[in-house]
Structure 1
Amino acid sequence: MRTTRTKRPRPTPHRSAHRTPFLAAALALTVALAGLVGLGGAGTAQGAVPTVPGWDLQWSDDFNGANRALPSAANWQTDTGHSYPGGPANWGTGEIQNYTASPDNLSLDGNGNLRITALRDSAGNWTSGRIESKRADFKAPAGGTLRIESRLQMPNVTGAAAAGYWPAFWALGAPYRGNYWNWPAIGEFDIMENVNGLNSVWGVLHCGVNPGGPCNETTGIGASRVCPGASCQSAFHTYRFEWDRSVTPNELRWYVDDQQYHTVRQNQMDATSWASMTDHAGYFLLLNLAIGGAFPDALGGPTPTAATVPGHSMLVDYVGVWTRGGGTTTPPPSTGSSTLYALPGAALGNSSGSASSATLTSAGGVNSDGTPRNPQVFTSSGITRTYNGGATQFDLFVDAGTTVGNGVQVRVSYDRTGSGVWDRTETYQYFATDPLPGYEHYTQAQGLKSATGTLGNLVNGKVRIEIWNAIGGGASTVGTGNQSVVRIPYS
């Protein structure tokens, strides 16, 4: 299991309280313009994820499937309960619902949408849904731009009946996974937030330190506006975030229906805060419908109330991630390291392919710490590259389902000349998985257990990774295709 960290007071990721002057102004604008906005039809899924001229699609989900089917397990993991294991209670925000994997709360609607529904039982307990992308490497390429977009409809409920509704589409920095106490330094991009059925969309950046810092935490740097044309609640709208590294200073931009309403620039903060937010592996995406908490309470609290009506849903037509210019969405670290993907069929490849998985057999109660036992083996051959003096890095997606404390372990070996002799072997400390279904990130930060030999230039060489369960009594899964990677220190 993950180590439970000492809880220290701090509000949270997932958008904090937003108790800011811009809220008051935005709320006033919403009220002033409410009578001017038409209430158009609800709209439907528009089909395939759109082709965007000038942009390259890196990843997407258009939520096609049968009514009440769960979202793609290859693309998404489902959060359940009232917190991450070892993380802040109530997801750090004060929201009150219990997230479940029930199709009553979280499912496809059979019409090309994801449906997240907030429900209340006879005892007054609320349930809802929250998912996050398995991939956590969404990042603007060096010299290019990242685009994250969703077409969705907020819960179609307004007024007193909407008190406490808090739908959101957002992204968190990858280092948050498995830590849960490094917010806000790792960054949070709130692409679409709404509370209490107000006809307004909020876009917010969280960064730096809490409280205070360059992002004015726990507030964040935010802006809001009414939805163009039909209200946010009555129709689908397209919500977009861009991270632009092609301009100086770099920019972060927020849009609704292609209309830009918020910008944050690199020169608005110190270099350390910007680097902490941008110089990691990337971001993962989240979609959820919360009930109650700091943000809705700030604008109408306390929420929910007796008048709040359950049963309303956020509908998501598609989510897409594009890049433009520069390199790939997951550029190698600045040391010049090369990225290899663990692929189906035991290969290490330069390109990722589609998401898939491989089974790690149970350790069977035998302690195999440091010695591979029935490992999954991935190998790349014929590599000629120059050693740059760096170190091995890896990011493996692993999951033990509901099994408690499987110890997934990895060994990375280098045959510098393809002679069949492994000149360098690195064995890393095992990663104790949690008992909740959903991929976790096992990285080199777990620590080096042992190493033999030395690294040097590869001339027709080989690289091999072996992954196995070192301890525990159940099988595990390792993500392959576009999921697990090893970054070797070669250019």
Structure 2
Amino acid sequence: MRVMPPPRGFLRRAALAVAALLVPAAAVLVAVPAGASVPADPPGWTSVFRDDFNGPAGSGINGADWLYTTGTSYPGGPAGFGTGEIETMTVDPSNVSLDGAGNLRITPLRDGGGNWTSGRVETRRSDFQPPAGGRLRVEARIQMPNVTGAAAKGYWPAFWMLGAPYRGNWWNWPGIGEIDIMENVQGINNEWATMHCGTSPGGPCNETTGIGGQRVCSPTSCQGGFHTYAAEWDRGTSPEQVRFYLDGVNFHTVRADQMDAATWNAATGHGFFLILNVAMGGAFPGAFGGGPDAGTQPGHPMTVDYVAVWQSGGGTTTPPTPTPTPTPTPPAGGRDAYAAIQAESYDGQAGLTTETTTDTGGGRNVGSAAHGDWARYQGVDFGTTAATQFRARVASGAAGGVSGLVEVRLDSRTNPPVGSFAIADTGGWQSWRTVPANISGVTGVHDVYLTFTSGQPADFVNVNWFDFGH
């Protein structure tokens, strides 16, 4: 919800993306009633904050733990909270209140003059961070506003964290860090998770987009039921990292070595406060068609069952998390540059989907790649003899005149490419060909980034696998 959001310029092959991602990645989903309590502390974890939002219907938030943010900006801060959103945040129970069934409801409303109101609440505490060598897990169980299609234009619900130094300054974003645990726009069945840091625009964290990943809610949609959204900030591993979870599945990770040490330390060397809000309009919805407009339906709340924060001490053993956390497959790192690297085995990505492929060998491919998208593959070992060749198995159903570059970058997606090739329509999104390219000589172990660059916003390529050669 950021003081500038990811300005995504796509709503691409939506039906394909949703269908592809509806296959859960080893998630274990358990039906839980809407008014469920905060889960018990798992072994090795200690509760440091929890709110079940119990109380009479129409009552306000617990003022000992939460405060209301009102108006259209922080005092003296950027207008529209820096995002271009158009609502006025209020303390009115019609916008922010408990429902009497163990939930908090934040409800956007529109008056007769077309003016929007909504709610934004923040924790009074701004000291949430892991202990030295330990972990912090921030989790909420949320049903997004149950509205889709044209009626959802402009809706922007979010659960997120801002660095404590932002309070009272209001102009030091994104250097002080932002961790977006859950964002959604336009009633799309998708969660976006992002870390913001560094300088804007550009900088080591690619602002204003940030370092983001996304995942579709399944088997029920994000709007159709409750799901658990969490971020786990781990100071007990090297490099330090922030992992993002949807219903226990780790779908996105940001590591300290994705940026310089000064940027990471500025973004994480302090506590954070938590925020729940529903904005209307702004740059993020604008990237998906805009709104709100006359067809947008008011009155659909974001419903929050609980918010909880746990911490664990240092050590080398990873304790259980409150929701199931499957082991990534394949494990990060240890990749052979000269064997086929499956494109869908990325360790981080932005803007991409996966789908079943009809290519030889079957399996899945990465899809919906367009300008600005990327995928990261950790620990690719090129050995001591320089690799000078790159091959990728690609397909494209791009419209006439739409083309782009598939680029290889090392260790940072903002580093210059070591090689690239152009790709346009191959005859269909499952019409595969192997395309070679020369690269600058590469030895040693590197994180490999595939980045996608185009002069048009449309999808232009699918990728099944890639490898390197001498």
Paired residues of 2:61 and 2:98 also in contact (CA < 8 A): yes
Classify the secondary structure of the residue corresponding to 2:2: coil
Alignment-derived partner of residue 331 in structure 1 = none
Amino acid at match of 2:220: A
Aligned-partner SS, 2:287: helix
What letter is aligned with 1:210?
Answer: S
2:274 to 270, 285, 300: 285
1:300 corresponds in structure 2 to: 289
Match of 1:176 among 166, 171, 189: 166
Q: Structure 2 residue aligned with 1:66, among 51, 56, 63?
A: 56
Q: Which residue of 2 aligns with 1:315?
A: 303
CA contact (8 A) 1:34 1:199 kept: no
What is the 5 A alignment of 1:74-223? 74-223=64-213
Contact 2:3 2:173 in 1 (8 A): no
CA distance in structure 1 between the partners assigned to 2:240 and 2:287 by the alignment: 32
Match of 2:267, SS state, is: helix
1:214 Cα offset (Å): 1.2
Deviations 1:154-209 (A, max 9, x none): 00111111111000000000000000000000000000000000000000000000
Distance verdict in 2 for CA 1:273–1:24, change over 3 Å: farther
Partners of 2:147 and 2:283 in 1: CA distance: 20
Residue pair 2:149, 2:187 contacting (<8 A) in 1 also? yes
Query: Which residue does the alignment assign to 2:429?
Result: none
**Residue 370 of structure 2 aligns with which residue?**
none
CA distance in 1, matches of 2:110, 2:272: 32
The letter of the residue matching 2:85 is E
1:232 aligns with 2:227: no
Instruction: Tell me the residue number matched to 1:54.
Output: 44
CA distance in 2, matches of 1:250, 1:238: 23
**Equivalent-residue separation in structure 2 for 1:26 and 1:151 (angstroms):** 29
Contact 1:41–1:234 (CA<8 Å) still a contact in 2?
no
Q: Is the 8 A contact 2:3 2:82 kept in 1?
A: no
Mapping for residues 314-463 of structure 1, pairs under 5 Å: 314-326=302-314
Distance 2:79 2:216 in 1: 32
> In structure 2, the residue corresponding to 1:90 is in which secondary structure?
helix
Give the deviation of 1:221 after TM superposition: 0.6
Runs of 4+ with >6 A deviation: 34-37
Per-residue CA distance 1:291-311 (angstroms, 9 max, x = gap): 11100110112x112111000
Cα-to-partner distance string for 1:12-57 (whole Å, 9 max, x where unaligned): x626331248x656957544448889xx999511134433232111
Provide the rounded CA distance (Å) in 2 between the counterparts of 1:221 and 1:146: 20
Name the residue aligned to 1:269: 259
CA 1:192 to 1:98, structure 2 compared with 1: closer, same or farther past 3 Å?
same
RMSD of Structure 2 on Structure 1 (CA): 2.2
Distance 1:205 1:214 in 2: 12
Q: In the TM superposition, what whole-angstrom CA distance separates every residue of 1:319-364 from its partner, at most 9, and x where no partner exists?
A: 011011139xxxxxxxxxxxxxxxxxxxxxxxxxxxxxxxxxxxxx
Q: Secondary structure at the match of 2:288?
A: helix
Letter in 2 for 1:294: A
Which residues of structure 2 form unaligned runs of 5+?
25-29, 316-470
Q: Structure 1 residues 206, 112: CA separation in 2 closer, same or farther (over 3 Å shift)?
A: same
Aligned to 1:330: none
Equivalent residues, number: 310
- 8 Å Cα contact 1:240-1:254 kept in structure 2: yes
State the distance in 1 between where 2:156 and 2:297 align: 13
Amino acid at match of 1:121: D
Letter in 1 for 2:224: S
CA 27–268 in structure 1, closer or farther in 2 if over 3 Å, else same:
farther
Provide the C-alpha distance between the structure 2 equivalents of 1:105 and 1:219, rounded to a whole number of angstroms: 29
Query: Is the radius of gyration larger for structure 1 or structure 2?
Result: 1
Paired with 1:139 and 1:35, the residues of 2 have a C-alpha distance of: 33
- Matched residue type, 2:208: T
CA-to-aligned-CA distance 1:89-109 (integer Å, 9 cap, x gap): 011001111000000000000
Alpha-carbon separation, structure 2, partners of 1:315 and 1:41: 17
Q: Which runs of 5+ in 1 are unaligned?
A: 1-12, 328-491
User: What's the CA shift string for 1:248-274, capped at 9, x where partnerless?
Assistant: 001110000000110011110001101
TM-score, scaled to structure 2 = 0.63
